[in-house]
């Protein structure tokens, strides 16, 4: 029996709380997502972290590609929305629970990553109410079945933190078959037209796998992404793992769902792979 299980804080709100309904909803997302093939192995994904009613369709386009694949572990990186802290927090114990079951943490890998840098530690408050990591797990559970993972929450997303985290991950995984997931939404609360313009800059950086360029744009306020750090680290690590291709899978914003274009949130999904 695993100890230190982090209970779901968004089941029943951000996604269905019933296992049967949740499973069926994700399968329906997969059914309606386009059949995209990539000629190579997936190394990283960027996916949104809003409620499924808003961004589930976008997330499904990425997770459908890796359905039934096998990875030694999945690293899920998200930004901190609730807790303020320096560096990066890694959950190095137990597992995360969703209505579909418990996803165990790869404790050895978590400890190996933590040992690489002083900026990485376990900050309990970083995980208690944070949705950006948890929101990815039901999709991964349906896509992969049983898997181990490492949850990382970024308290800081500056260039130094992103570079050190990427280096720490690469050093720790040492050739293992790992998938890295960067949890990120895009611009927030602009008009539809302005959001599309801002988000197009992020999408260009994603398509060119330019993590440092993305961070530079964000620092200069040229674009917005609340998970820009996780997205950038995902690109950095994916390239080190051999990814040489990026594919933007889907972009939309909340205005496309609700019809209200006055104040929207942008979402995108992408995959990084080696060809």
Residue 62 DSSP symbol: H
CA angle 190, 195, 198 (to 5 degrees): 120
Query: Following DSSP, what letter does each residue of 134-161 receive, concatenated?
Result: GGGHHHHHHHHSS--EEEEEES--SHHH
Mean pLDDT for the stretch of residues 113-125: 98
DSSP calls for 187-226: -EEE-HHHHHHHHHHHHHHHHTT-HHHHHHHHHTTSS--T
Cα 214 to Cα 204: distance, rounded to the nearest angstrom: 9
Rounded Cα distance between 208 and 248, Å, is 10
Phi, then psi, of 247 in degrees rounded to 5: -135, 120
DSSP designation for 11: B
- CA quadruple 168, 203, 63, 255: dihedral positive or negative? positive
| Interval 70-85 mean pLDDT | 97
Packing angle of the helix pair 228-240, 159-173 (nearest 10 deg): 40
- Of the listed ranges 172-176, 183-187, 190-194, 261-265, the least confidently predicted one is 172-176
Around Cβ 112, how many Cβ atoms within 10 Å? 18
By the 8 A CB rule, do 166 and 233 touch?
yes
**b/e code 28-60 from CB counts within 10 Å (16+ = b):** ebbeebeeeebeebbbbbbbbbbebebbbbbbb
**Has residue 243 got a pLDDT over 90?**
yes
Question: How much is the mean pLDDT over the chain?
Answer: 97
Domain 5-274 in CATH 3.40.830.10:
yes
Mean pLDDT confidence for 203-223: 97
**Is it the case that residue 35 has pLDDT exceeding 70?**
yes
Q: Inform me whether the pLDDT recorded for 2 exceeds 80.
A: no
Closest CA to 71 of 170, 133, 149, 158: 149
Comparing CA positions, the residue from 96, 106, 22, 37 lying closest to residue 67 is 37
**In this prediction, what percent of the chain has a pLDDT beyond 90?**
96
- Asked whether residue 8 carries a pLDDT value surpassing 70, the answer given is yes
Domains of the chain by residue range: 5-274
Mean pLDDT score, 252-266: 95
Asked if the model's pLDDT at residue 275 lies above 90, the reply is: no
What is the average per-residue pLDDT within 73-89? 97
Determine the pLDDT at residue 98: 98
pLDDT on residue 175 = 85
Q: How confident is residue 1, by pLDDT bands cut at 50, 70 and 90?
A: low
Q: Mean pLDDT, to the nearest integer, of 147-159?
A: 97
3-state secondary structure of 15: strand
* Best CA proximity match to 234, nearest among 67, 78, 73: 78
- For 236-270, what is the HEC assignment? HHHHHCCCCEEEEEEEEEHHHHHCCCCCEEEEEEE
């Amino acid at each position: 029996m695993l100890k230190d299980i982090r209970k779901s804080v968004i089941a029943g709100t951000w996604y269905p709380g019933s296992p049967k309904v949740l499973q069926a909803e994700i399968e329906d997302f997969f059914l309606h997502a386009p059949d995209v093939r990539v000629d190579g192995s997936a190394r990283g994904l960027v996916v949104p972290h809003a409620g499924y009613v808003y961004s589930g369709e976008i997330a499904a386009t990425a997770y459908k590609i890796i359905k039934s694949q096998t990875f030694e572990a999945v690293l899920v990186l998200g930004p901190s929305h609730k807790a303020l802290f320096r560096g990066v927090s890694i959950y190095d114990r137990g597992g995360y629970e969703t209505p579909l079951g418990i996803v165990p943490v790869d404790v050895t890998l978590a400890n190996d990553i933590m040992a690489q840098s002083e900026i990485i530690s376990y900050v309990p408050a970083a995980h208690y109410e944070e949705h950006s990591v948890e929101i990815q797990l039901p999709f991964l559970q349906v896509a992969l079945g049983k898997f181990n993972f490492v949850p990382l929450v970024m308290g800081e997303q500056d260039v130094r933190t992103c570079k050190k985290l990427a280096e720490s991950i690469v050093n720790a995984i040492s050739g293992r078959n790992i998938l890295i997931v960067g949890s990120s939404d895009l611009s927030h609360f602009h008009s539809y037209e302005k959001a599309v313009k801002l988000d197009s800059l992020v999408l260009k950086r994603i398509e060119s796998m330019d993590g440092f360029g993305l961070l530079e744009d964000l620092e200069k306020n040229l674009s917005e992404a609340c998970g820009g750090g996780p997205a950038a680290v995902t690109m950095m690590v994916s390239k080190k793992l051999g990814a040489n291709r990026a594919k933007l899978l889907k972009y939309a914003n909340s205005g496309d769902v609700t019809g209200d274009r006055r104040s929207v949130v942008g979402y995108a999904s992408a995959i990084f792979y080696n060809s």
